[in-house]
Chain A
């Protein structure tokens, strides 16, 4: 019964990001990263901000995941994220700008400011994006 594959789905409120048959998944849980192989026991966990990785054949691909929940079943993984992007989709130049903007904003205000949360969230998002994008770059470099 134990199948060799996992049906991986990633959905956000705005779109259906991904649906693929993969061999393993790594999920950024709130309490730490979580590796999932086929036949994993059913599990529900909250997600943090981080990078999700999945292996399909010989390839490993990355996604950013920001807040949400993941449901793991023996043959499928459903990720419900607030925001999620494939690493390939990330525009590095724009993300850098966003990071700088967020840093500049954070430098100006104190932590009590209502905008502080906004800015720190934007910063965390930009950083995780850059991290994911750099992984794609590294993988491409290794191939060539």
Chain B
């Protein structure tokens, strides 16, 4: 039978845990805001790169580029984006589960893994798969130079015919409550992306934007005009060949940002519910404690009353 002291101790311990989870929630909220801003800030660049790429593509006779070349998929590369830390609900577990299912479904092909984030790396290292590389400590503060490095790495693997297709598994940031798991093909680049008639403004295949594009400040796209006769300082093919990797970099960067925003959102939600659960636990234990306290008082009263009664009789 626990005594009052035990209950008090228990409440104190839960309270301090609650303080920690609450602090983590606020940290996550602040980080989330920053990475969300990053997602929005990256959009104009990606859109403009794509626009210039399209206009260059429209002026070329054949848009042949190593990164656009389609080959039968025999060897694939899977880029797995997780966080570096846990305490974010099912965020990492979902990605890892999706990645393993994907690899099983494609077990006829030779697969390699590029792990981004410690959690995915250590989970998948236990499996039988081959690693093409790993990048950790990325999601805390997504830097474009890291995206460039990763894009360079996968472009190289693709261009040297190490792999025939590159897929990415990541969480897409829909809103604070919802992260959507996505498997996206990064390479070869879908040739329809290059067609200037493509309607969507960002050109990212099936990107569902967390906020509507109209809310974006600094809309750069000159409306209506699709074909301007540019002077190209270098041959147009050089510009085009230079732009294709830039496009891939922008895509990888976006994926990293999305994943990072989704991670912070997941962490915030997880810490919020942890804080709430701690509150409920405190209420429950307090109630129990009061019951015991009252039982003690009642017992003492009975003793006094019965003592007095026996003295008078």
Closest to A44 in B: B230
* A14 contact from B42, B238, B242, Cβ within 8 A: B42
The answer to whether A11 has its CB under 8 Å from any CB of chain B is: yes
For B52, give its contact among A9, A12, A13, A69 (CB under 8 Å).
A69
Q: In the complex, what's the smallest C-beta–C-beta distance from B2 to chain A, in angstroms?
A: 55
Please tell me if A82 contacts chain B, counting CB pairs below 8 Å.
Answer: yes
Does A78 lie within 8 Å of B45, measured CB to CB?
no
B52 / chain A contacts, CB cutoff of 8 Å: 44, 69, 71, 80
Residue of B nearest to A74 (CB): B228
Shortest distance between the CB of B44 and any CB in chain A (Å): 5
Are B231 and A11 in contact (CB-based, < 8 A)? no
Contact present for A76 and B222 (CB under 8 Å): yes
User: Could you count the A-B residue pairs with CB atoms below 8 Å apart for me: how many are there?
Assistant: 83
Given A44-B56, A82-B148, are A11 and B45 neighbors across the interface (CB < 8 Å)?
yes
Interface size, B (range): 20 to 34
* A19 adjacent to B218 (CB under 8 Å): yes
Contact, CB under 8 Å: A13 / B42: yes
Choose from B144, B218, B233 the contact partner of A43 (Cβ within 8 Å): B233
For residue B41, CB closer than 8 A to chain A, the reply is yes
* Contact residues of A: prevailing secondary structure: strand
Q: Does A42 contact B (CB under 8 A)?
A: yes
Task: Tell me the interface secondary structure of chain B in the complex.
Answer: helix
The answer, yes or no, to whether A139 is at the interface (CB within 8 Å) is: no
Residues A1-47 near B (CB distance < 8 A): 9, 11-16, 19, 29-31, 34, 41-46
Q: Is B75 an interface residue (CB 8 A)?
A: no
Distance between B235 CB and nearest chain A CB, rounded to angstroms: 11
Residue of B nearest to A68 (CB): B246
Q: Are A80 and B230 neighbours in the complex by a CB distance under 8 Å?
A: no
Shortest Cβ distance from residue A55 to the other chain B in the assembled complex, whole angstroms: 22
Contact residue among A11, A29, A30, A73 (Cβ-Cβ distance under 8 Å from B44): A11
Contact residues in B for A41 (Cβ distance below 8 Å): 231
Are A13 and B147 in contact, CB atoms less than 8 angstroms apart? yes
Contact A46 B233 (CB under 8 A): yes
B220 interface hit (Cβ, 8 Å) = yes
Given contacts A13-B42, A44-B56, contact A78 B239 (CB under 8 A): no
The answer to whether the Cβ of B292 comes within 8 Å of any Cβ in the partner chain is no
Ordered by A's residue number, 25 sampled pairs between the chains whose C-beta atoms are within 8 Å are A11-B45, A12-B144, A13-B42, A13-B250, A13-B253, A14-B38, A14-B42, A14-B143, A15-B41, A30-B234, A31-B234, A41-B231, A42-B228, A42-B229, A42-B231, A44-B55, A44-B231, A45-B232, A46-B234, A46-B242, A69-B239, A73-B228, A80-B45, A80-B49, A83-B144
Query: 4 smallest A-B Cβ distances: which pairs?
Result: A45-B233, A13-B144, A43-B231, A42-B230
